[in-house]
Structure 1
Amino acid sequence: MSFRGNYEIKPFLLGLTQQPELQLPLFLLFLGVYIVSVVGNLGMVLLIAASPLLHTPMYYFLSCFSFIDLCSSTVITPQMLVNFVKKKNTILYSECIAQLFFFVIFVVAEGYFLTAMAYDRYVPVCSPLLYNVTMFPWLCSLLVLIAFILGVLSAVTHTTAMMKLSFCKSHIINHYFCDVLPFLNLSFAPTHTSVSSYSLLLWGFNSLLPTLAVAISYAFIFYRIHHIHSSEDLFKDFGTCSSHLIAVGIFIGSITFMYFKPPSSNSLDQEKVSSVFYTTMIPMLNPLIYSLRNKDVKKALRKVLVRSEFSFLRV
């Protein structure tokens, strides 16, 4: 049976768990996670826009990065929350494809954003005097545009490949959202093999290219830091990179664990649990990582709060 052209088919999402006693606690847990993610990322975008102190290329990239995290969590988490409260978690095939499409856009764009942010860390450490000349506004905007274009192109090619799959009679998706691997597990062997190979190649390219670019950038950064004799300059340069390194490690590590495990270790139940980390937890953690470890963000936040309090008292 083929899904192609029949957008009224309603796949059934099993959700994160089938145990009734866990539905309410998990709903409350992930509702809290989603609220923190939305407040943190939206707050970061608004803070950077409102504070002149943060109008630099580094924080421009960070605001775009927070916007991507906000969008990616919104694509996935609300559907997960609905799965906890509905008895029958059906979703239109067209809605499933749309969710997969936007998920791929944001997850791929996030990888390339981390690459652009690595370059933004490389320039001030290795060529500090050329930073303002190199990272001019139109180059930053171009890097952002390229990240989104690559995300859209990957989403188009990926979802087009998924729509070519031929499926068995079962429309049950053993997941809480329409991800690639559950789709592949529903398909017949002939189409499954070719599309699976294409999917793995696409994910490999979009993972390997950012990873190599980030690794090369940090190889030069660490070489530069190694030859700095001043401990003050060393800690300053390392502090510039530490938050980004944590975000890169969490993102690339979770994606690699999810999509590049040996076939013998594939288990959809395990994959559901591991995918929770990069679909819901990472968008929540990123603004905390960048805000709690960044003096400029803390300073800008204090100024905005003081200004807001002063305006309120005047009224």
Structure 2
Amino acid sequence: MEANKTLVTEFVLTGLTDLPGLQVPLFLVFLVIYLTTMVGNLGLIFLIWKDPHLHTPMYLFLGSLAFADACSSSSVTPKMLVNTIDKSQMIPLLECMVQYYFFGFSATTECFLLVVMAYDRYVAICNPLLYPVVMSNRLCTWLISVSYVLGFLHPMIHVGLLFRLSFCRSNIIHHFYCEIMPLFTISCTDPSINALVIFIFSTFIQAFTFMAIIVSYTGVLFVILKKRSEKGSNKAFSTCSAHLFSVFLFYGTLFFMYVRPGLRNKEVLGALRKMINK
């Protein structure tokens, strides 16, 4: 039995579909989406870098978010595209962990950058006269650095805990990339601690950052409603509504990926009750 636990060193990703007729169309669709995303993000970063007029806190944060989004897309999509047309669809255990790490890094960084952007809009709209003083270059650099450091550290916890697991039941991951939750279903070691840690960190990070964004935009909304200039009010509202739409879409996806499975997992809930009772 112990020997069998060390046999699984590679996994099979089932991908998006096993129908041969759909593999090429799906490959082309996602290739176009990926290239469009990368051109958009990298193009935005290049424009911000080249144009001195865009060297403002808002565009600095937007460029940082674009870089994190490019990292997120690149951590998943290239391997997914290869697996779509590759019959083997294999991924080594180490590469699997690296893929999850970079996805977790970019997702966590985006969470905190969205908070920073919400705070930036709050200061710009609610205290426009103090904006140049409050949002100094030093503070902007510090906020971006903290976001990336937190993004760097957070997935290290979960990747580190993966080393306590051994995989002997199966090597098939029913997903199109190496996501951590499907790994738990094929582990022959009890993954309840791993699932509990993911649930706690995901819930805390998502709840904290989401509430911070909502508080910032609540203040912005009150100021917009008080504004006399209809033109200025509409411009501020359109900017903030676009940001809020992205926030709800992003957080909704993360909630269904990490928080919702934990709420339905009896082992996670049991471990959580034991921790609270202590």
Q: Is the shorter-chain TM-score for this pair beyond 0.5, marking a shared fold?
A: yes
Coordinate RMSD, CA, aligned? 2.2
Q: Kindly state the Cα deviation for residue 8 of structure 1 after the two structures are TM-superposed.
A: 8.1
Structure 2 residue 65 is matched with structure 1 residue 65: yes
Task: Mark the runs of 5 or more structure 1 residues left unpaired by the alignment.
Answer: 267-315
TM-score (ref. length: structure 1): 0.79
Question: 5 Å matches for 1:82-101?
Answer: 82-101=82-101
1:103 positional shift:
0.8
Alpha-carbon separation, structure 2, partners of 1:228 and 1:214: 21
**Residue in structure 1 matched with residue 104 of structure 2 by the alignment:** 104
Comparing 36-45 with 7-16, which one deviates more in the overlay? 7-16
For the residue of structure 1 that corresponds to 2:260, the secondary structure is: coil
DSSP-derived class of the 1:128 partner? coil
In the other structure, the counterpart of 1:303 is none
Deviation string for 1:111-137 (max 9, x for gaps)?
A: 111010001110011101000001111
Shift of 1:169: 2.6
Alpha-carbon distance in structure 2 between the residues aligned to 1:86 and 1:113: 36
- Cα distance in 1 for partners of 2:263, 2:251 equals 21
Instruction: Give the aligned residue type for 2:81.
Output: L
2:150 corresponding residue in structure 1? 150
**Percentage of pairs with the same residue:** 39
- Distance of aligned partners of 1:162 and 1:237 in 2 relative to their CA distance in 1, 3 Å threshold: same
| Greater length-normalized contact order (CA 8 Å, ≥ 6 residues apart) | 1
- TM-score, length of structure 2 as denominator length: 0.89
How many residues matched?
Answer: 264
Structure-1 separation of matches of 2:229 and 2:56: 26
Give, in whole Å, the separation in 1 of the partners of 2:136 and 2:261: 43
Give the C-alpha shift of residue 215 in structure 1. 0.9
Q: Which residue of 1 aligns with 2:233?
A: 234
Distance 1:7 1:108, change over 3 A: farther
Q: 1:43 to 1:230 in 2, by over 3 A?
A: same
Compared with structure 1, are the counterparts of its residues 114 and 7 closer, same or farther at alpha carbon in structure 2 (3 Å cutoff)? Answer: farther
Q: CA deviation at 1:259?
A: 2.5
Q: Which one-letter code corresponds to 1:113 in the other structure?
A: L
Partner of 1:193: 192
**Structure 1 stretch displaced more, 78-87 or 168-177:** 168-177
Which residue matches 2:33?
Answer: 33
Counterpart in the other structure of 1:221:
220
CA distance in 2, matches of 1:140, 1:129: 17
Structure 2: gaps of 5 or more residues: 266-278
TM-aligned CA deviation for residue 93 of structure 1: 0.7
Per-residue Cα deviation, 1:233-275 (whole angstroms, up to 9, x for no partner): 3113213322211221211122123323367989xxxxxxxxx
- Maintained 8 Å contact 2:17/2:23: yes
Q: Which amino acid aligns with 2:101?
A: F
Secondary structure of 1:166's match?
A: coil
Q: Is contact 1:2–1:165 with CA below 8 Å preserved after alignment?
A: no
Cα distance in 2 for partners of 1:137, 1:154 equals 26
User: In structure 2, what residue type is equivalent to 1:90?
Assistant: M
Pick closer, same or farther for the CA change 1:2–1:129 going to 2, 3 Å. Answer: farther
